[in-house]
């Protein structure tokens, strides 16, 4: 054992820094923990606000992973794409776990701060919209609420015009010799992706291949995991909303639960689900 071992064990952390701590410089915890400005006096509002902020941060990380995956697919780098998709599934699990504090609000508890939210709604989340755009759920009208925020608007507009994660997947499948129709490859990227029978056949071929340990199958399953977890987020949101406000209209002006039910019914990467009936 070395002579300096006891010292090393007893050594206390440094206390002395010329300016702010290196931790603060990196994490900006002082900024992050002073961004909470509740709009009511209700003590229950803080967790609603922080959960929303936490989810915004997870959306940001997940968008980063999917943009990484899309870029890697474009360069035929499947290992990097698969690693990013895998990380995103763990992040989606954490995102979904953050519903816990809001999953059992009673209408009275929610009402205690609901009116203070005014017309504010998660529907106006630009980062969530980028996430939906990456999945192929494009819509130019979703940019309209962000006209007053130039940076946000520019980021969203770029995301609207760019190939989605799913577009990059389909382009890669075409480069690998699978029968992806030209109409899909040349589609107007700013439009919502519409499921096609030919792509369903492509996935059925990937799933039906003799070799069950191919890169493409791993890609298909990673995307299926992502799709399932996004679907779970939408459904957890739906159930939390149903518990907190029944069938009242939303603060964002929609029909509320009925509108969310329609959104939650959509399959993410639709042909990955329907192809299973044909394998
Ligand atoms: C229990 C609390 C919540 C309730 C009652 C609720 C309610 C609603 C309702 C009614 C809508 C439909 C649009 C509208 O008319 O407002 C909506 C949309 C949305 N909410 Fe929530 N929400 C809750 C919590 C959250 C949280 C914590 C987030 C996290 C950011 C969130 C994110 C969203 C998003 C992204 C949409 C748009 C979904 C889409 O475009 O498909 N919500 N919410």
Mean pLDDT, rounded, for 261-276: 96
Decide if 55 contacts 98 (C-beta within 8 A).
Answer: yes
**For the segment 60-113, what is each residue's pLDDT rounded down to a tens digit?**
999 999 999 999 999 999 999 999 999 999 999 999 999 999 999 999 999 999
pLDDT band at residue 212, thresholds of 50, 70 and 90?
Answer: confident
pLDDT band at residue 8, thresholds of 50, 70 and 90?
Answer: confident
pLDDT band at residue 213, thresholds of 50, 70 and 90?
Answer: confident
The secondary structure of 126-168 as a DSSP string is: HHHHHHHHHHT---GGGGGGGTT-HHHHHHHHHHHHSPPHHHH
Report CA(95)–ligand 1 centroid distance (Å): 14
Q: What confidence score (pLDDT) does residue 190 get?
A: 98
Q: What confidence score (pLDDT) does residue 84 get?
A: 98
Decide if 209 contacts 203 (C-beta within 8 A).
Answer: no
pLDDT at 6 over 90: no
Task: Tell me how far the alpha carbon of residue 152 is from its chain's centroid.
Answer: 17
HSE toward the beta carbon, residue 49, CA cutoff 13 A: 18
Pocket test for ligand 1, best of 42, 52, 237, 246 (most atoms within 8 A of CB): 237
- Look at ligand 1, atom 5, and give the residue with the nearest C-alpha: 241
pLDDT band at residue 3, thresholds of 50, 70 and 90?
Answer: low
Decide if 278 contacts 200 (C-beta within 8 A).
Answer: yes
Is the pTM of the predicted complex or chain greater than 0.85?
yes
Cβ contacts of 171 within 8 Å, gap of 6 or more: 73, 74, 163, 180, 185
**For the segment 157-168, what is each residue's pLDDT rounded down to a tens digit?**
999 999 999 999
Q: Is 51 in the pocket of ligand 1 (CB under 6 A)?
A: yes
Domains of the chain (ranges; CATH) run 24-278 (1.20.58.480)
Report CA(118)–ligand 1 centroid distance (Å): 13
pLDDT at 275 over 90: yes
Residues across the chain: 279
pLDDT at 2 over 70: no
Please give the span between the terminal C-alpha atoms of the chain, in angstroms, as a whole number: 62
Mean pLDDT, rounded, for 193-218: 94
Nearest to 136 by CA among 278, 272, 276: 272
Q: Is 81 in the pocket of ligand 1 (CB under 6 A)?
A: no
Mean pLDDT, rounded, for 13-40: 97
Cβ contacts of 94 within 8 Å, gap of 6 or more: 58
With tokens 């007893």, the residue in question is 10
Mean pLDDT value across the chain: 96
Q: Is 120 in the pocket of ligand 1 (CB under 6 A)?
A: no
Report CA(125)–ligand 1 centroid distance (Å): 9
C-alpha angle with apex 243: 237 to 247, nearest 5 degrees? 90
Q: What confidence score (pLDDT) does residue 5 get?
A: 60
Decide if 168 contacts 73 (C-beta within 8 A).
Answer: yes
Q: What confidence score (pLDDT) does residue 161 get?
A: 98
């Amino acid at each position: 054992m070395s002579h300096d071992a006891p010292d090393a064990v007893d050594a206390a952390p440094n206390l002395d820094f010329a300016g702010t701590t290196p931790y603060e410089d990196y994490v900006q915890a002082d900024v992050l923990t002073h961004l909470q400005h509740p709009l009511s006096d209700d003590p229950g509002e803080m967790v609603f606000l922080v959960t929303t902020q936490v989810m915004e941060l997870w959306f940001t990380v997940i968008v980063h992973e999917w943009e990484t995956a899309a870029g890697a697919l474009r360069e035929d780098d499947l290992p990097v794409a698969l690693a990013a998709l895998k990380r995103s599934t763990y992040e989606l699990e954490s995102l979904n776990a953050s519903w816990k504090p809001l999953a059992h609000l009673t209408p009275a508890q929610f009402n205690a701060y609901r009116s203070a939210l005014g017309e504010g709604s998660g529907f106006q989340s630009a980062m969530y919209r980028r996430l939906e755009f990456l999945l192929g759920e494009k819509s130019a009208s979703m940019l309209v609420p962000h006209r007053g925020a130039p940076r946000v608007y520019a980021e969203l507009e770029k995301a609207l015009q760019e190939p989605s994660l799913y577009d990059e997947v389909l382009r890669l499948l075409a480069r690998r010799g699978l029968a992806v129709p030209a109409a899909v490859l040349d589609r107007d990227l700013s439009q919502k992706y519409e499921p096609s029978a030919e792509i369903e056949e492509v996935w059925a071929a990937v799933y039906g291949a003799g070799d069950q340990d191919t890169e493409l199958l791993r890609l298909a399953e990673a995307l299926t995991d992502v799709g399932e977890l996004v679907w779970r987020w939408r459904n957890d949101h739906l159930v939390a909303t149903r518990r907190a406000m029944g069938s009242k209209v939303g603060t964002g002006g929609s029909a509320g639960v009925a509108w969310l039910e329609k959104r939650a019914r959509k399959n993410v990467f639709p042909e990955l689900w329907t192809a299973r009936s044909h394998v």
